[in-house]
Amino acid sequence: MAKVIQSKLAWALYLLHLLLLISIHGSTSDSISSEGFCAVNNGADCGLPSPYTKILIKGGTVVNAHHKQVADVYIEDGIILSVGPNIRVPDEDIRIIDATGKYVMPGGIDPHTHLDMEFMGTATIDDFFTGQAAALAGGTTMHIDFVIPINGNLTAGFERYKHKASKAAMDYGFHMAITKWDEDVSKDMEVMVRDHGINSFKFFMAYKGALMVNDDLLLEGLKKCKSLGALPMVHAENGDAVVEGQTRMINLGITGPEGHALSRPPVLEAEATARAIRLAAFVNTPLYVVHVMSIDAMEEIAKAKKAGQRVVGEPVVSGLVLDDSWLWHPDFTTASKYVMSPPIRELGHGEALQAALSTGTLQLVGTDHCTFNSTQKAFGLDDFRKIPNGVNGLEERMHVLWDAMVETGKINVMDYVRITSTECARIFNIYPRKGAILEGSDADIIILNPNASFEVSATSHHSRSDTNVYEGRTGRGKVEVTISRGRVVWENDALNVMPGSGKYIKMPPFSYLFDGIDKSDAAYLSSLRAPVKRASAAS
């Protein structure tokens, strides 16, 4: 009887909580259907958030980046309270989930997304709600998105993205792009780091006439990042040479999506990667290379790492498992959905990038989720230069990677946790709050059944896009449960997410990548064999 009363009390509290949310966000169904999410989501369910704030996950194999054990995990109010065998808890209002035979892992963290981004004359089709709903359905519980400044202004860009993210349904952080240089930008970088929890800035070495920066700006940016303990990131392609390559293709009469790959070959990615690496070495700052797509670029990173330089290489799922043959597909809608930059490369590059990932040359996997639907892609029907660049991946990353790398024995389950979650948390300085199943960590957790299978299709995915670059892909390993901030948001193939429930995660500067930089700077200064004392010319 007491139990019944208690659970009635829990439901009353839950309903009160719901009323509060409704008063904040408008009617629940309104706020969801105004997104068009449930309506266009091919029948996928948008249910109510789970009432449980106490969860006991029993008997699963709990996996962290360096350890795994069969254990229980107990969660209360969004935090992991204990991890260990046979946890005993009072038998009241606790949701018990049996994870026997399954893996209990930190939720994925995607270091590279573009939700609701204005780009190439349009905007990405997934916003902070639909993109995150897709992420949660695929086992990703946090992502870091790129704030694009407005006319170079960082503060204006930050405010715009704060508004865009007000519909967030899971935790997220921000990187910020730097697209021009002056005193205001330099000062605003300090504000972003100090007041807004941004600890990484991205420099586009391509997209001439839009986001691209020159070496002068890159050098200033690298110096500023270093002084702030912020990580510089680069999109590494030679943007001037890309324009030359594009003109070459158009002059040859190659106007279709294959022209995209032909106009920006791996050599342009390798050149920019090498240039950024060398400039970072000159400044003595760590560097993060986003979306490493080719063997050529990866080898530049390998060479620098071998020489002791701190360079982080991020491949993306599309570059790991797809090849460029799709760009030659006779159907434009099919071919154009694979257009992204740097381009998806010829067969062989993906395998090599996977090998580099398994040996640590490349460190973590992103998606560069930047979705445009087929109508948007058709802007470039007669000219590949006008096809909006970008592919999906937020929902697919965890599944596709498990199937491609764990199921094939290329990496083990702990490596999987490292490259999908822990390494990202460490690099962006939020470990062990994120990226681990430890006492005190945020309760962002997935339960993956290695004996179940997944299938990807635009008819069932949660992105707003009408296409999917992994269409028809099946594989082993399925995220059956996603827990975000201590709430079950995905189970039985149904989503229970609430716009506005996501939280912004501030990321402090000076991650481990900066440890010892002061010492190597001092060693450099003391090694300088100058100035030379010379007698004056007159004497």
Tell the smallest beta-carbon distance from residue 114 to ligand URP (Å).
5
Tell the smallest beta-carbon distance from residue 115 to Zn ion (Å).
11
Those residues whose C-beta lies under 8 Å from the C-beta of residue 302, and which sit 6 or more positions away, are 356, 361
Which residue type occupies 400? Answer: V
Q: Is 389 in the site for ligand URP (CB under 6 A)?
A: yes
Q: Count residues binding ligand URP (CB under 6 A).
A: 9
- Residue of 85, 20, 94 lying closest to 52 (CA atoms): 94
Please say whether the beta carbons of 516 and 522 come within 8 A.
Answer: no
CA distances, 401 to each of 23, 108, 318, 397, 445 (Å): 40, 11, 10, 6, 17
Residues 226-245 that bind ligand URP (CB under 6 A): 235
Give the pair of three-digit tokens for residue 418: 């490292």
Tell the smallest beta-carbon distance from residue 87 to Zn ion (Å).
41
Q: Is 366 in the site for ligand URP (CB under 6 A)?
A: no
Return d(Cα 175, Cα 112) in angstroms, integer: 9
Give the pair of three-digit tokens for residue 256: 């279709």
Which residue type occupies 255? Answer: T
Tell the smallest beta-carbon distance from residue 191 to Zn ion (Å).
24
Return d(Cα 278, Cα 289) in angstroms, integer: 12
Count of beta carbons in the 10 Å neighbourhood of residue 81:
16
From the list 31, 238, 294, 341, which residue makes contact with ligand URP (rule: CB under 6 A)? 341
Helices (H), 197-346: 215-228, 239-251, 258-263, 266-283, 295-306, 317-321, 332-336
Task: Give a three-class secondary structure readout of 318-348.
Answer: HHHHCCHHHHHCCCHHHHHCCCCCCCCCCCC
Instruction: Return the number of the residue (68 or 291) whose C-beta is nearest ligand URP.
Output: 291
Instruction: Return the number of the residue (205 or 488) whose C-beta is nearest ligand URP.
Output: 205
Tell the smallest beta-carbon distance from residue 111 to ligand URP (Å).
12
From the list 35, 145, 237, 368, which residue makes contact with Zn ion (rule: CB under 5 A)? 368
* Residue nearest Zn ion by beta-carbon distance: 235
Those residues whose C-beta lies under 8 Å from the C-beta of residue 404, and which sit 6 or more positions away, are 320, 321, 354, 410, 475
Site map (CB under 6 A) of ligand URP, residues 290-319, x = contact:
-x----------------------------
Q: Is 264 in the site for ligand URP (CB under 6 A)?
A: no
Instruction: Return the number of the residue (269 or 444) whose C-beta is nearest ligand URP.
Output: 269
Query: How big is the chain by its Cα radius of gyration, in Å?
Result: 24
Please say whether the beta carbons of 337 and 286 come within 8 A.
Answer: no
Q: Is 370 in the site for ligand URP (CB under 6 A)?
A: yes
Residues 216-255 that bind Zn ion (CB under 5 A): 235
Q: Is 368 in the site for ligand URP (CB under 6 A)?
A: yes
Tell the smallest beta-carbon distance from residue 203 to ligand URP (Å).
11
Instruction: Return the number of the residue (332 or 514) whose C-beta is nearest ligand URP.
Output: 332
Tell the smallest beta-carbon distance from residue 339 to ligand URP (Å).
7
Q: Is 114 in the site for ligand URP (CB under 6 A)?
A: yes
* Residue nearest ligand URP by beta-carbon distance: 389
Q: Is 143 in the site for ligand URP (CB under 6 A)?
A: no
Residue 485 binding partner per list ligand URP, Zn ion, none, with a CB distance cut-off of 5 to 8 Å that depends on partner kind? none
DSSP-derived 3-state class of residue 445: strand
Tell the smallest beta-carbon distance from residue 425 to Zn ion (Å).
20
Helix axes 183-196, 154-164, angle to 10 degrees: 40
From the list 366, 390, 393, 499, which residue makes contact with ligand URP (rule: CB under 6 A)? 390
Site residues, Zn ion (CB under 5 A): 235, 368
Site residues for ligand URP per CB under 6 A: 114, 235, 291, 340-341, 368, 370, 389-390
